[in-house]
């Protein structure tokens, strides 16, 4: 019973902190090669609602980007955010990051992030089977 309570508590905490998972609907068969993890805080004066609208507006661009599989955006109780972005390979992830400033639809999302708070890492998914 303790284990069930722990899992229930973790799920409740995750839902309460605000999680938005999105994919493109056509990427279900893509092989996951890397997860891009971006941790950050919002820029001063940016509201949660405006940020979420900017994040949602990035999806059409991301879905049209080669190698994009999906993302989960999560918000911590302390105001920290994490964007877990799934890509088919490290090369496609890094190419998308390099070209992001050239895509006008991404700019509201980018400027909503405090650049001094941003930490970026790439991790390889592990199969537990």
pLDDT digits (tens, 9 = 90+) for 96-108: 988 888 899 999 9
Q: Is residue 14 part of a domain?
A: no
Q: Is residue 52 part of a domain?
A: yes
d(CA 100, CA 113): 14
Model confidence at 25, pLDDT cuts 50, 70, 90, reads: low
> Which residue in this structure is represented by tokens 């599989």?
69
Tens of pLDDT, residue by residue over 47-64, are 999 999 999 999 999 999
Q: Is residue 6 part of a domain?
A: no
Q: Is residue 10 part of a domain?
A: no
- SS3 state of residue 54: helix
Q: Is residue 34 part of a domain?
A: yes
**Domain count of the fold of the chain:** 1
Radius of gyration of the CA atoms of the chain, in A: 16
Quote the pLDDT of residue 20: 55
d(CA 17, CA 15): 5
Q: Is residue 91 part of a domain?
A: yes
Tens of pLDDT, residue by residue over 26-36, are 545 568 889 99
Quote the pLDDT of residue 3: 42
CA contacts within 13 A on the Cβ side of 91: 1
Q: Is residue 79 part of a domain?
A: yes
- SS3 state of residue 72: strand
Q: Is residue 40 part of a domain?
A: yes
Model confidence, pTM: 0.76
Question: DSSP of 77-125, one letter per residue?
Answer: TTS-EEEEEEES-HHHHHHHHHHGGG-GGGHHHHHTB-GGG-EEEEE--
Domain of residue 38 covers 19-123
Percent of the chain with pLDDT over 90: 63
- DSSP type of residue 29: T
Residue 77's domain is classified under what CATH number?
A: 3.30.70.100
Quote the pLDDT of residue 71: 94
């Amino acid at each position: 019973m303790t284990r069930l309570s722990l899992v229930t508590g973790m799920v409740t905490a995750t839902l309460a902190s605000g999680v938005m998972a999105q994919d493109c609907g056509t990427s279900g068969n893509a092989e996951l090669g890397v997860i891009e993890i971006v941790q950050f805080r919002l820029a001063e004066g940016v509201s949660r609602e405006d940020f979420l609208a900017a994040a949602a507006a990035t999806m059409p661009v991301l879905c049209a980007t080669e190698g994009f599989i999906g993302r989960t955006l999560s918000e911590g109780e302390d105001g920290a955010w994490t964007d877990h972005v799934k890509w088919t390979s490290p090369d496609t992830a890094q190419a998308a990051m390099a070209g992001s400033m050239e895509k006008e639809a991404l700019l509201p999302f980018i400027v909503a992030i405090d650049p001094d708070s941003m930490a970026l890492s790439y991790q390889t998914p592990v199969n537990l089977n």
